[in-house]
Structure 1
């Protein structure tokens, strides 16, 4: 009888819980137990040595740490990343983790704790590495920045960006007001050519692309001054307008042109309450409401005087309540919690006279329980059992209702010999979140693609076995190595409907192996206050395609690497980034799409004129960015005859940006 990897991990989870209970009972059945987790603390002088104006600047300099952002889809369990603020996830769906960290001024940071192998925070149990930022009460004042692009090879524009964070402390309440305005534009030019199945040129020409984003953000965060708890209220409003103009010239009187606009209005309110009792027990309650409206309008002229219109309006709502409690001083250090989320999407689409309404609603219940066992002074075992029950309803031209249930165990075995290395072994089963946009039809006019909605889409799953090492060599070289093997189920791939349309669907199973390497080398012996950082990602996957046989999964990037060298002194900082080439391949029903880039260089220099004013200059794509987008077409589907190729070679010239950063 063949046993699936999911069953194996479930059995391991039950055994680990049993083993944990037995171990604690034998060693000390009558005393409480507190987790012993090693962490590197950056405080006082070591914190000041991390250069930067905000939290994002500082954590990017931690040796061996790689910032990981989870997706921003439904719920809070998978919407954050491996950085906590005062032991809690950033309760926001409207802003990314990097945006939130960028808004946290450095003078509000009291300490940064870096956990390289194992940590005591249940809300981020999916991460081995984790950073917890400790803040203190802000002082009255404001932080501001103004940014402008100075050069462009295509047009004389000066896009601007203005942002400010105002802190208003008081005896009973502390308030922080964030305001952000952005008018960002970018342009590129491309050469394109189309060849037929015989390799003969059938079309060639030039393409010009212009993009503009106008964004406004207003948010306020309020905290009452409490003794043994922390209560945070937050409200945000975000308005974004996007415009895209794309035209192609091939020598004929009538050209190809695309005019697209998108407007987005998003509103969010949240409450985050944390309470610590006298025995260090922690209770957390998070409540969030998010509502977003999106309007898309697209006009496509293809060698004609008449436009092909496309319009779509979407309304998305989300309500989440999450409760967590951890008892670190109790036997087993138990943790319990539950998250309940309600999500809705309503989409109205008008595509060339074809009108469609699509509605999706979902209610998810996700309870969990976990325990921690200190096996020895060096070995720690963490076991967690997550469950999920989902009721999913969808409706377009027909209705569909699905009830899904999942068991998602996680086992983490950490070894920390309190020396120059540590190790973590993890076995887990995860269920990815569904993207509600895949339930409604969509259009990508730029690459001449359409996608039908799939009302019966199920989430993809994977079982994973991974090992992570942290090594400090010669006191100057820090290495983080992570390798993993995934057994994927119900993978999402482009499939063909019986009527010939394409859509995202559940397409079977796949296996994926991969790894990451992060190396930080302290080069102060050659240049004071300098370091060299290398990040490298590797991935390889195999999926049995019913059209063409075994191939990688869709969207896989086999190799991705960056190199950064920087020097951070008391009054100035500078650095150079090198982005090495990568290739991404996507498999559509009748098309093989490949995206390639080349080596890119960028640099920055920052100087502190006074205690309250800094100036930063950055140059993006110093060597001119070059990208290639290649579409290989086939008759009917990819198992059919090859019919031709359309290739775009894009270039983006260097852009210089000048920024002023200060505080009042």
Structure 2
């Protein structure tokens, strides 16, 4: 069955390419000389109507659009997301897409283009919806913000964040400097109890949790003044220190305690060169180097005076070179490119006097080619063929070498009647990235779990059929609906080892059905400049578990929904967010773990004091956040006899934050 779906989707890709060429030849036309993509342009007054002080604020207000961030594990082809800046993906592995958009001030935005059903950007072909942010050349000036939590049981009125962005344009060079300092603290309290198989109380008590993060970021981006191309140099340094303390009291003289400290240092340099010719042909060359250092030290007291120590040091390096070419002026608008990446992880782990060294090295080649065909004025076909060749070497207690090859076709058929709705149908085969952390052992002392490293882990992959609709009803209601069905192969699940330990492994096949709904309702007829937004995601999966039979896949959240109401006027803005309850279930070898939360309310208010000074106040978890963590235990594994349950009920009190934002 798994080979059947893979073969079908590959055959569809080849047929679609053949059909595209045949249709163009039959009509004796080169309709793709000027691609026609439906887009909504926000500029001038329409751009100003999108309230916000940076690109992220404005993008979050686009009707029916949902920002999607890809993973940042390795390589650039899967990094970034469905927002481009000046037609290209943000080149960074050290910062998320939301962080990058938050650092782009609104006065540097010239226009925002929203593509709802297909787009001309090859580097983001995996997305149907896409936003392209067009920027001005920066002016001399500075943007800054200072933020403080006003409610904290540890240090009242302590500043928690300071950030500055300096724009330094010149005749020959433009520079942008970002500096960010964060001293954030969070805390919660919990009650816990444990019962045995017959329901008798084994233990109960209270838990206190405290975490502190101290983060520093320094980055500089430089661009020379060029006429027919754009060249960007970027360098970043990020330092993060974490401290965590958990204490459980059950009435006994000796308490359960976990003390953990972690330091992370990340350094990144990149070069991004783009050249556009007079006939809109685009070439892009990206080179990136990233290095991460992580040190973890943990002490765990299990109602004893002697701690169980755990230390781990990891060094990760990544070098990527990527070339892309897009030729919209040629027949079929061909696109081609290749990415070559080298990744390496070295880890040393010490647990109770037992030390283990692990080394992982990967070299990956990913070429692609694509064409676009305008079938009619309303129908457009995009076909793309991706390939991947990976050589993976790993070493811990023994050596392992794996060579992998994949073919990943993608077909997108878009229909835009240039009215109040459009539709996109997508068929694709995708291969997920491996997480190198799964190759080395890890520990979760909070829930008393350990995980062995898996040197022979293969990436999971899936074939997918998806349909996306965009509808505008009554000129006041905008809907985006996405439905998909996935046939998954080599899914990652926790599997048992003969030694009794557990690890992440390839555990067979699964099917997943899901979808999302994003609805934006303009409520200005009742309250000026107001709107109501609903986002809802659902997912259902079927997986054949060797231990317990049919069940959902690990970590599945069946339902996830948020509702937001906000009003944005010229001088002030306010809003209320409602987060509806969700449940996540994880299937460990000898444990069924369930995480539940309750309805949460948050609010914000922002006031524009002057053109260069604003005040922002937010209240998180107005109604006090409540979470439940439930562990059901079984003898040996989940096929065995039920032995008991441990439950934690956590609460986080409301947090009020005041921010002052300005520019010079």
Give yes or no for TM over 0.5: yes
Contact 1:152 1:654 in 2 (8 A): no
Which residue of the partner structure matches residue 603 of structure 1?
Answer: 603
Which residue of the partner structure matches residue 459 of structure 1?
Answer: 459
1:441-493, Cα deviation, whole Å (9 max, x unpaired):
00000000000000000000000000000000000000000000000000000
C-alpha deviation, 1:153, in angstroms: 5.2
C-alpha deviation, 1:384, in angstroms: 0.1
C-alpha deviation, 1:28, in angstroms: 2.8
Pair 1:618–1:2, CA change in 2 (3 A): closer
Report SS of the residue matched to 1:437.
Answer: helix
Instruction: Give the structure-2-normalised TM-score.
Output: 0.99
C-alpha deviation, 1:156, in angstroms: 3.8
Which residue of the partner structure matches residue 202 of structure 1?
Answer: 202
Which sections of structure 1, spanning at least 5 residues, go unmatched?
Answer: none
Contact 2:24 2:31 in 1 (8 A): no
C-alpha deviation, 1:158, in angstroms: 2.2
| d(CA) in 2 for partners of 1:162, 1:52 | 19
Whether 1:87 aligns to 2:95 is: no
| d(CA) in 1 for partners of 2:153, 2:141 | 39
Which residue of the partner structure matches residue 278 of structure 2?
Answer: 278
Alignment map for 1:196-235 (pairs within 5 Å): 196-235=196-235
Pair 1:390–1:425, CA change in 2 (3 A): same
Contact 2:2 2:487 in 1 (8 A): no
1:542-577, Cα deviation, whole Å (9 max, x unpaired):
100000000000000000000000001100000000
Instruction: Give the structure-1-normalised TM-score.
Output: 0.99
Which residue of the partner structure matches residue 292 of structure 1?
Answer: 292
Contact 2:148 2:157 in 1 (8 A): no
Report SS of the residue matched to 2:88.
Answer: coil
Contact 1:34 1:330 in 2 (8 A): no
| d(CA) in 2 for partners of 1:271, 1:426 | 33
| d(CA) in 1 for partners of 2:510, 2:51 | 43
| d(CA) in 2 for partners of 1:381, 1:522 | 33
Q: Kindly report the root-mean-square deviation, in angstroms, between the aligned alpha carbons of the 2 structures.
A: 1.0
Report SS of the residue matched to 1:61.
Answer: coil
C-alpha deviation, 1:155, in angstroms: 6.1
Which residue of the partner structure matches residue 42 of structure 1?
Answer: 42
Which residue of the partner structure matches residue 623 of structure 1?
Answer: 623
Contact 2:547 2:638 in 1 (8 A): yes
Contact 2:2 2:489 in 1 (8 A): no
| d(CA) in 1 for partners of 2:492, 2:157 | 41
Report SS of the residue matched to 2:20.
Answer: helix
Whether 1:73 aligns to 2:73 is: yes
Which residue of the partner structure matches residue 569 of structure 1?
Answer: 569
Contact 1:153 1:653 in 2 (8 A): no
1:163-201, Cα deviation, whole Å (9 max, x unpaired):
010000000110000000000000000000000000111
Report SS of the residue matched to 1:4.
Answer: helix
Report SS of the residue matched to 1:215.
Answer: strand
1:270-302, Cα deviation, whole Å (9 max, x unpaired):
011110011110001111000000000000001
Which residue of the partner structure matches residue 524 of structure 1?
Answer: 524
| d(CA) in 2 for partners of 1:662, 1:109 | 17
Pair 1:329–1:467, CA change in 2 (3 A): same
Contact 2:139 2:169 in 1 (8 A): yes
| d(CA) in 2 for partners of 1:147, 1:403 | 49
1:375-423, Cα deviation, whole Å (9 max, x unpaired):
0000000000000000000000000000000000000000000000000
Whether 1:587 aligns to 2:594 is: no
C-alpha deviation, 1:3, in angstroms: 5.8
Alignment map for 1:396-415 (pairs within 5 Å): 396-415=396-415
Contact 1:265 1:292 in 2 (8 A): yes
1:73-102, Cα deviation, whole Å (9 max, x unpaired):
100011110000000100000000000000
C-alpha deviation, 1:152, in angstroms: 2.9
Which residue of the partner structure matches residue 481 of structure 2?
Answer: 481
Pair 1:3–1:176, CA change in 2 (3 A): closer
Which residue of the partner structure matches residue 557 of structure 2?
Answer: 557
Report SS of the residue matched to 2:370.
Answer: strand
Contact 2:146 2:159 in 1 (8 A): no
- State the aligned residue count: 664
